[in-house]
Structure 1
Amino acid sequence: MNFFLKNRRLIGYLGAICLLFGPQIFSQQVILGSDSLFHFNRFYDTAMQMKEQNWQYFISMYGFHESGRIVNALYGPLIAYFQGGLLLLTGTWFRYQLSSNLLLAFLAFFSMNQLLKHYQIDQYFRYPISFFFVTTYAIQYWVLRQGFSSWGIALLPICLIPMKELIDKRRLPIVTVGLSVAAMVQTHLFTSLLLVSIYFLVFIYVWIMSNQKIMLFKQLASSMIVCGIFSMNIWLVLYQLYTDNQLVAPFVNKEIYLSTINYQSAYWLLTPISFLGVIFWLIKETSVYRKKLPKPTLFIGGISLVYLLFSTNLIPWKLLSEQSFKIIELIQFPFRFFMPFIVLCGLYWGLIQQKTQKRNKKVEKGVVIISIIQTILVSSFHLFMQYQQSPATYLGKHARFTGAVVEEVVDSFHSHNLSELLQLVNKSTPDYVPIYQKTADNKYELYRQEIIEAKGFDKKVKDRKLIIEWFALEEETMVPIVAYKGTELNFNQTKLEIADVTFSPIGAPILLSQKGLNHLEVTYPATKNYNYLFIVVVVLWLGVGGYLGVEKLRKMYVGRSD
């Protein structure tokens, strides 16, 4: 009882987080967003690997229409296996999504809370800010649209904890910074670039003020080595694949200037609506207390404004996109810069409140209540509109619904046959498939025609191989799989040399079928070595987790003894 009384405010906020998902619990529906099918295929693939003990680090043998394409090895493999394990444990897509959403929300809350706690900000200030963080679009992006960057942003506050030592002591904590960046690389690559950019700005600030500049560079180099070791599975895969293959880049946004918070992506700024009030309040408080605020606090506020600026059209995004700069194509959506702004703004908010000791309980309750109501209303609206429309409509461009009625999709949310949902709805996404020849044809349409809608092929997984069988006459046949330079093809008991095979522009092999039954086995030989490498990386992370756990218990024991 004493525990609940002592932590009643924390328990109250955790209960409020659970309340946010009331509409989904009540409707018993999965919210399908524009990125849902891409990630659901990723996690279905890892779930089936674990279920059937067919560990395949590279090619997709279960997800993505059993196409053999490479996705997870390039896109957060550690968290992909975590999500696959969660899917396997929960058993249905509805239970998986609800569990995943709750885990993300709790991660975001405790992550922000730990960052604020590290800056000695009182719980009366940090709990409302942490809860507010959960209701921002940075986190709701996953809930409503399955934007995976939400997982990176939820982790970002924890990864910024070493920043305090860098600023206060002008010393870069080698291990914690290296591990923080490596953890983000394992989660979401673009968010890791945002994290590195924050540390770069802080490092430059500290380096200018420091009289030990050489030492700082040595610490930076050492932290990069730590990061490299704990994320070597990512870098080695990138090196191998991009050395031997030219891959289709993720979606290139030709109208990047539309995706800013002062244009078509204003919902980032208005989720929740009280965010505008928070920003204006911070501006007012800064102008009043500017001379009393410590320089590090003002610096954090300053770099947060840098990211706010980059999320708007005050940066000439239209002009920059017309120059076809690769880095601009990588950014895709300027609203991505608003995500680190949210985290840094939350930290600055806590620092301002801690310094001024201004606490208005009515305003605090108002902000929390508005956040709860708006989050519930928005998710309810998404669920209502989803049920009123065809899945292909709300899944966005390049999506197809293969069923007869919407109710089939709703039923598949609760089916223990996890492939049922992925068969009823599909979406053409050719990210990371190889390019064998230039073509003016739309790659999304090519992928749909050659991989998704190909008929007459039987696919199965046996002995850790993807096996495709079909009946044909003596004719050329385009097989609905994706082969890379590194993929091994055994066709009708003959090993083929990739250099001798004819491929479609996006890597589907065109083979001369024999009359009758044809048999193709697809493997990726490098998988065996990379499986071992992945195990080494996992053991390293488990070791770090175990060490931190023991240290936590030791400090708790010492604290009680005192």
Structure 2
Amino acid sequence: MENKRNYQKLAYWVPYLVFALVIILVMNSQLRHHITIIVGDGYFHFTRIYDAAQQIRTHNFSYFQMNWGFDQSGRMVNAVYGPMFAYLMGFLLLLSGSWFKFQILTGFLISFAAAAGMYQLMKKVNNNLFVDTLVSLVYLCQISWWNQGATFGSISAMMLPYVLLVAVRMIQNWQKPISWLQLGLTMSIVAQIHLMSTLLFTIMLIPFAIAGFCHTDNKKAMIYNFLGAVGITLVLTANVWGALIYFHLHDVMANPIETNMAISAVGWANMSELFWGLAIFQIIYVLFHLRESLLNNIVTLTGTIFLVISTNLMPWNAIQTAYPVLRSTFQVPRRLMIEAIPLLLLGAGITIKFMVQRDHNDVGTWCAFLIVMLLVGFNSKLTVNNFYTNTSIQSTMPMQYEARANNNGKIFYYRNVPAPDYLPQVKNISGTKKAALYEQDVIKRQYQFEHLVLPGGRLELKWFSPKISKVKLPIVMYRDSHLIVNNHVVKHPNRNEIGVPTVNQVKGKNKAILSFQAPNWWQPLLWIVSLSWLLIICLALYNRLRHC
């Protein structure tokens, strides 16, 4: 009996230890060389995380105006882009002590959470230790990694298995398809991290909700639980949608930079032949076994829809021509592959269960296939990490010294990208033009001014002028931004297309102070959101302890 208990404890922890080992092995080259990889969206997210970290460090909070990140230009990004997640990551940056340690820590945690979530999901539908672990590892090696580009695709991939746990419940538990606390809390966390993921995950849940509603005998209870979840989500995310509505109606922000959707769609070469083979087999299997499992049918159908839409099988050239706004809002069709991968892997896990029930010899064949798929994916991740590590050694060594030594903003001197996202929409110009103006008027001119962050979230600029003239300040102003120059309020500053103001300067020393006047209802709203989170977390912990 004692041996059996020890075996069960070992079996419980082994998958998680394997996940940790695989992640460390993939990051081995980066760990050995102490390299911080900043590619892709790395600068965009690192600078907004740095701003949140500085607010925490100095206890000088500014929810809207960013006084440390984005070239100390007073931009507003975190308020509409994962605000609470930015503060969490900022806290981890302070805790880590250096950018290198921060990237290793967060890269490990995000990848581990993704694998652990997939494993919990697989246990719901298969409950075979070896198969569940293999499928989770395959998932880990198919998704984006935070330390290989710092894209939010990796964050979405981390969250998806936990959202799918909600989806699976809708099919498996017809007595209570929806837990208002589980659904509301899960979607609230997603919304506090990434709004686009919230929209896509909501769409993904629709087929599961319809099936659960059609089969449950407690339709009225399901509706009440759904409405309760929606209500909780609206309260817990009021800071997110409140800021979005405010800027949409009162102070329009620019969309992110436009992309060519046809080029950013998934092609055959973007995924391994083994993944395509698994996807095709899974689709064919379900078509020939429609009566076997409702859950498998819905999972595979939903995954197939996301898969097809994410690829160049869709006429994305025609779509972006007809609806050009999608180029700067939806941007990249390949983001839908983030939903397709776990859905199809989940479907494969269900298929394996039924095939093994009919013929136990099938488990060996499936395990061999999954092991090969895992090795190919692992080698791909290892190659990418080695490539970025070696490239960073060759091209960014001054920045690497700073990244190893501290967690301050000096790394942005060596790595700066003129991202135009969420700049003021003064005039409707292209994202490329906005980026060029921002680089010209802010990035290249910021070091001509002395920046100081004042109490109350205000930003002070000082500079010296040899004569009386006009000057462009390397800051951006929104409609409710407030500017004081040399102790005089500038009521209607002359702003260019991206909100950079031109003001009068005097001969000698000059001083400007930028602040943002948030609406009167904002502070009470933040208190409501904060207290609601505290209450819901306490309730979730109470329910967890009660069922232990």
Q: After TM superposition, is the score higher than 0.5? A: yes
CA distance in 2, matches of 1:211, 1:554: 27
The alpha carbon displacement at 1:206 in A equals 4.6
The alpha carbon displacement at 1:193 in A equals 1.1
Structure 1 residues 22 and 92 mapped into 2: Cα distance closer, same or farther (>3 Å)? same
What's the TM-score, normalizing by structure 2?
A: 0.89
Residue deviations 1:100-133 (CA, integer Å, cap 9, x gap): 1001111101111222233353322221111221
Contact 1:46 1:81 in 2 (8 A): yes
What's the TM-score, normalizing by structure 1?
A: 0.87
Q: How does 1:32-43 map to 2 (within 5 A)?
A: 32-43=38-49
* 1:57 paired residue number: 63
Contact 1:459 1:468 in 2 (8 A): yes
Confirm or deny that 1:258 pairs with 2:263: yes
CA distance in 2, matches of 1:518, 1:284: 71
CA distance in 2, matches of 1:100, 1:292: 43
CA distance in 1, matches of 2:291, 2:386: 44
The alpha carbon displacement at 1:528 in A equals 8.7
The alpha carbon displacement at 1:350 in A equals 1.6
CA distance in 2, matches of 1:8, 1:176: 27
207-216 or 465-474: bigger deviation: 207-216
Structure 1 residues 532 and 452 mapped into 2: Cα distance closer, same or farther (>3 Å)? farther
Confirm or deny that 1:459 pairs with 2:451: yes
Confirm or deny that 1:551 pairs with 2:546: no
CA distance in 2, matches of 1:534, 1:155: 24
Superposition RMSD in Å: 2.6
Aligned mate of 2:240, from 234, 237, 244: 234
The alpha carbon displacement at 1:156 in A equals 1.4
* 2:191 paired residue number: 185
* 2:168 paired residue number: 164
Structure 1 residues 437 and 279 mapped into 2: Cα distance closer, same or farther (>3 Å)? closer
Contact 1:132 1:371 in 2 (8 A): yes
* 2:359 paired residue number: none
The alpha carbon displacement at 1:309 in A equals 0.7
Structure 1 residues 337 and 457 mapped into 2: Cα distance closer, same or farther (>3 Å)? same
Contact 1:17 1:131 in 2 (8 A): no
462-471 or 334-343: bigger deviation: 462-471
Residue deviations 1:526-550 (CA, integer Å, cap 9, x gap): 2896466445434433443343334
148-157 or 525-534: bigger deviation: 525-534
* 1:91 paired residue number: 97
Q: Percent identity?
A: 24
Q: How does 1:342-357 map to 2 (within 5 A)?
A: 342-357=341-356
Structure 2: runs of 5+ lacking an equivalent:
357-361
* 1:559 paired residue number: none
Structure 1: runs of 5+ lacking an equivalent:
391-405, 557-562
Structure 1 residues 535 and 541 mapped into 2: Cα distance closer, same or farther (>3 Å)? same
Residue deviations 1:412-432 (CA, integer Å, cap 9, x gap): 221215211111221101111
Aligned mate of 1:489, from 479, 483, 488: 483
Contact 1:59 1:524 in 2 (8 A): yes
* 2:532 paired residue number: 540
Structure 1 residues 56 and 496 mapped into 2: Cα distance closer, same or farther (>3 Å)? same
CA distance in 2, matches of 1:16, 1:204: 38
| Aligned-partner residue type, residue 489 of structure 1 | L
CA distance in 2, matches of 1:93, 1:163: 37
| Aligned-partner residue type, residue 467 of structure 1 | E
Structure 1 residues 538 and 509 mapped into 2: Cα distance closer, same or farther (>3 Å)? same
CA distance in 2, matches of 1:202, 1:366: 31
CA distance in 1, matches of 2:330, 2:116: 28
Aligned mate of 1:449, from 418, 437, 440: 440
SS in 1 for 2:68: coil
CA distance in 2, matches of 1:71, 1:33: 19
CA distance in 2, matches of 1:547, 1:212: 24
CA distance in 2, matches of 1:291, 1:303: 14
* 2:249 paired residue number: 243
The alpha carbon displacement at 1:495 in A equals 2.7
| Aligned-partner residue type, residue 262 of structure 2 | Y
Q: How does 1:151-550 map to 2 (within 5 A)?
A: 151-168=155-172, 169=174, 171-206=177-212, 219-253=225-259, 255-262=260-267, 266-267=269-270, 269-270=271-272, 274-283=274-283, 285-286=285-286, 290=289, 293-327=292-326, 329-357=328-356, 358-360=362-364, 361-388=367-394, 390=395, 406-416=396-406, 418-438=408-428, 442-454=433-445, 455-464=447-456, 465-472=458-465, 473-497=467-491, 500-526=492-518, 530=522, 533-534=525-526, 536-550=528-542
Contact 1:457 1:469 in 2 (8 A): yes
Residue deviations 1:351-396 (CA, integer Å, cap 9, x gap): 11222224224444333333333321221122223334x4xxxxxx
